[in-house]
Structure 1
Amino acid sequence: MATIENGFVRVAKGDVVVLLYHGTPLPESMWVMGNEQDRVNYYWSRLVAPRYRVDELKVFKNDICYFCLYFGEGSATELTTGARKHVALYIGFDKGLGYAIQVVAPSFAAFQKEFPNIESVGKMYGYNKFAVKAADLTGKWTSSTSAAGQYYNSVTGAYAGMNAVSMANTFTFNRDGTYSSTHNGASGFVGSQQFYSQKYQGRMTLSDWRLTLTNRFNNKTEVFEAYFEMTGAGPLLHLVQVDARGMHYRLMRE
């Protein structure tokens, strides 16, 4: 069972409770110098220590890694009740933010039963997922992304230009069951980029975590998996095209 709280999503299964925190920044110095112990301690001191006194914080040590794991755990005492718990903290990083997952279990055995390895804790962020109701959908939702790469001649080292991609999407959902959307973008080498602009209008149907939109590309009907992810800035609307899952819109309310 997942519920929305202030600053996190709470997921409970029996006596095991998982808190899925919204993304919070890591100090810039720790991006350069911080190791597993430093990063786990930083989030532990802010999210766990105010409520639990840990006997010994055991931090997972990575070997040489590209996608490193940041995880700490230990037996602890709940400060307000004196109850003994096993507490674990997993941190995943994305775009400069740390997404912490805190697990509180009545014992290490209970924790291990639900989470046999560290990776299984990281997968819990998928539970930050809520159904979309028509009343919540009404309004304008937007997204924009961009990326660029600089090119240099491998022989001479001379600058060879920049390749850039940018996209902007806007969906407007109306109370009468209609919608409109615009999709604009550009890609290619700067100075000779290809541009596109698409506009659609039609009807929408929302049911069973699915959003159906008529009159899309080539007048076809498209079906999207639709759900909300809760963030510090408000709900993020995900629309994932069912028959082309690479088409994934992540939209914020304007």
Structure 2
Amino acid sequence: MSYIVTATTGHLGRLIVDSLLARGTAPTSIVATARNAQKLSALAELGVKTAVLDYTQPETVAAVVQSGDVLVLVSGSELGHRFQQHSAVITAAQAAGVSRIVYTSAPRATTSDLLLAPEHKATEEFLIASGVPFTILRNGWYTENYAGEIDKARQSGEIVASVGHGTVSSASRADYADAAAAALLDDSLTGQTLELSGDHAWDFDELAATIGTLIGRDVTFRNLTPDAHTEMLTGFGLDAGLVGFVVGLDGNIRDGLLGEANGDLARLIGRPTTPLAVGLAAGL
């Protein structure tokens, strides 16, 4: 039996492999996969097995997965194509006799108005209907999503968004990777859907103050109306689709869809989640 990790040349997938190794998992029982074989060489140096697995090519799944393996399906990054890709992987893994699939989803995926939820909702429903034993990890926001605000704040002294008083209970990618590794190794989590988030829900005033401390200057949060935010981003030359997406996500935060802090992530990984300042410092 092997632990198969997808998308290991991405940030989260690579950290899942690192976490499995840190937990004492034998390198030879780990299969690190990605679309690009050349990019897997660094992982091979860790002693783990490597293989090509492309979400758009189900035959690559069949070539890797063997009966009894446990697979972590790291959700794809191609918006609008993810359900098609995820369902293809699930179907191929099922045919190969996978014993369980751990899927990284989104907060309250089946009921939330979060812009990113529909593809995750469809994937969750497909996975459950497939009959394959599963564990669903509904990952909240990554602190690293805001690393790009550091350079902006250096230049302008501001964090600009249209989130109002909304909060975000973010955690680091390493926290979520530890959760995926823990779920891979724990069969008792079969059939469970876990809502994962950071221990603390911060607002954008706190984000600005935290970044200010990290870079050594005063940083303030300037809240815009959605219309003003749209106008500003359009003025920067962003296309209408991207502008709508960014403003829409800020609206989701404003509506409280990313601010739940229930402690499940900390309980799963056996430690507190990474504080905001520590997670952001990695972006320096």
Q: With the length of structure 2 as denominator, give the TM-score of the two structures.
A: 0.25
Bigger helix share:
2
Asked which structure has the greater RCO (Cα within 8 Å, sep 6+), the reply is 2
Bigger strand share:
1
